[in-house]
């Protein structure tokens, strides 16, 4: 059984190992494969039966050109890099890794929020530059400090991660509102379910944790920002295209939105002309909310279990249906 990993570096830059997958067959791992050159992916897949990808696209053309493929594993929860519908038509199961990042993404959400509230990195740098040493007062602040207790967090998308974020928000003394197409019973003790307009109008902080679907693409735009409180804080650890970036940049520059913290953007890696790069009070991190070693180990463990289950004829975490 030939197994190929097309882009293993972000999952395992050297602090994990591929041993369990290596033990399952003739195993090859590439650190990176082109995101745009299908010929490279086709050549690297060759006659492999098991293909594992993170962000390298597996398109209809790749599927047609690589008839040996019997199984595709995605090293992530999102699986839109694979034409999973066509794969299903060809009888190829596509699996993902659900739930691995709940704790780490929720933690990172508050890393962004607390940086916005306190500008810890800036003030630490100022101290190291000698500004505290020469300050006539016992303290100094370059930015207003923001207390979260008593404020309202609105969470759009209230699955595992959204609910974890809600629990942490409550621990900070925040009120929590949630807007979700599925009103999970487990979420009722955390948040009040409301419609989108109510969430937009009442929230001091809005955090995005919904999947990218046609109905959620651009959910943060000029019109929805217009329904928010002045000085709202917007966080996005979901998918970049949930936000119309020029509209958010305009709102940040005008002061309508106080600050934004985003770990994802519409095109990744970020392009130099992304309007958020020049926006005021916009904190941008390079898609790392998922990437703690602990979370990546969970991905590895689940990916191995997915392959083993397939080989045993009882596939799990399948996101498509075969013929």
102-284 matches 2-100+293-311 in CATH topology: yes
Q: In the numeric block, which tokens belong to residue 226?
A: 């217009």
Question: Rounded distance, CA 206 to CA 113, Å?
Answer: 10
Domain ranges in the chain are 2-100+293-311, 102-284
Looking at the predicted structure, is the pLDDT value of residue 53 above 90? yes
Alpha helices in the chain (DSSP H): 19-22, 38-45, 60-65, 84-89, 102-118, 120-128, 160-171, 196-202, 222-225, 245-254, 293-311
pLDDT tier at 321, thresholds 50, 70, 90: confident
Give the fold, CATH level 3, of 102-284. Answer: Rossmann fold (3.40.50)
Specify the DSSP class assigned to residue 99: T
Three-state DSSP class for residue 236: strand
Instruction: Evaluate whether the domain defined by 2-100+293-311 bears CATH number 3.40.50.720.
Output: yes
pTM of the model: 0.93
Q: In the numeric block, which tokens belong to residue 178?
A: 């949630």
Per residue in 199-250, pLDDT (tens digit) is 999 999 999 999 899 999 999 999 999 999 999 999 999 999 999 999 999 9
Helices 120-128 and 102-118: angle between axes, nearest 10 degrees: 60
Which pLDDT value is given to residue 322?
61
Question: Rounded distance, CA 188 to CA 103, Å?
Answer: 19
Question: Rounded distance, CA 138 to CA 316, Å?
Answer: 59
Largest CA distance in the chain: 75
Which pLDDT value is given to residue 40?
98
Per residue in 66-96, pLDDT (tens digit) is 999 999 999 999 898 999 999 999 999 999 9
Q: Which residues are catalytic?
A: 239, 268, 287
Question: Rounded distance, CA 84 to CA 90, Å?
Answer: 10
């Amino acid at each position: 059984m030939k197994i190929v990993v097309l882009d293993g570096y972000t999952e395992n830059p050297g602090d994990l190992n591929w041993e369990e997958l290596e033990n399952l067959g003739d195993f090859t791992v590439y650190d990176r494969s082109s995101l745009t050159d299908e010929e490279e992916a086709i050549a690297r897949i060759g006659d492999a039966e098991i293909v594992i990808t993170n962000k390298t696209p597996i398109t209809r053309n790749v599927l047609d050109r690589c008839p040996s493929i019997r199984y595709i594993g995605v090293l992530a929860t999102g699986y839109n890099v694979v034409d999973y519908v066509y794969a299903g038509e060809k009888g190829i199961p596509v699996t993902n890794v659900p739930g691995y990042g709940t704790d780490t993404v929720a933690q990172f959400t508050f890393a962004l929020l607390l940086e916005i509230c306190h500008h810890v990195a800036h003030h630490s740098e100022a101290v190291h530059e000698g500004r505290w040493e020469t300050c006539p007062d016992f303290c100094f602040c370059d930015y207003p400090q923001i207390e979260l207790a008593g404020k309202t967090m609105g969470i759009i998308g209230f699955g595992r991660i959204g609910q974890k974020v809600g629990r942490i928000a409550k621990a900070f003394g925040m009120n929590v509102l949630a807007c979700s197409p599925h009103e999970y019973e487990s979420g009722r003790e955390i948040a009040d379910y409301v419609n989108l307009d109510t969430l937009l109008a009442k929230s001091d902080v809005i955090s995005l944790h919904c999947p990218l679907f046609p109905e959620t693409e651009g959910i943060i735009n000029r019109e929805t920002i217009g329904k928010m409180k002045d000085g709202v804080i917007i966080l996005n650890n979901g998918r970049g295209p949930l936000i119309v970036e020029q509209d958010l940049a305009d709102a940040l520059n005008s002061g309508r939105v106080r600050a934004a913290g985003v770990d994802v953007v519409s095109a990744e890696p970020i392009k130099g002309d992304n309007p958020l790069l020049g926006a005021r009070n916009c904190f941008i991190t390079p898609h790392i909310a998922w990437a703690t070693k602990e979370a990546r180990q969970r991905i590895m463990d689940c990916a191995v279990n997915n392959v083993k289950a397939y080989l045993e004829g009882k596939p799990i975490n399948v996101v498509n249906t075969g013929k």
